[in-house]
Amino acid sequence: MHRAVIEVWLDSPSLAKAMYEALKPEVDSMPRIHYKASIELSKLSVKLTIEAHSLSKLRAALNSYLRWITSIKGATSFLVG
């Protein structure tokens, strides 16, 4: 099993919670056939763990989550100022 961990640090607890709440439905709704993902919220960070049986499945999942994270960070920076 291959594993990747992404931890995103944010400027405030409210931004961390917003990112967590935006990613949580994606984590919960993904079928666990090719990979499994979990998400954790701490005061200023969101930690995403992805596990897959093959590197190609892990890479595909990472690409998806990294795109979502980039979009969320862009949206929150637009809103914050």
Question: What tokens appear for 26 in the block?
Answer: 């994606």
Q: Please state the domain extents for the chain.
A: 2-80
Determine the pLDDT at residue 80.
63
Report the residue count for the chain.
Answer: 81
Q: How confident is the model at residue 32 (pLDDT cuts 50, 70, 90)?
A: confident
Query: Rounded CA gap, 1 and 52, in Å?
Result: 6
31-46 mean pLDDT? 92
Q: Rounded mean pLDDT of 35-52?
A: 96
What is the mean pLDDT of the segment spanning 47-57? 96
Burial of 15 (0-12, 13-18, 19+ CB in 10 A): buried
- pLDDT for residue 75: 85
pTM for this predicted structure: 0.87
Query: Which CATH code for domain 2-80?
Result: 3.30.310.50
78 by Cβ neighbours in 10 Å (0-12 / 13-18 / 19+) ranks as exposed
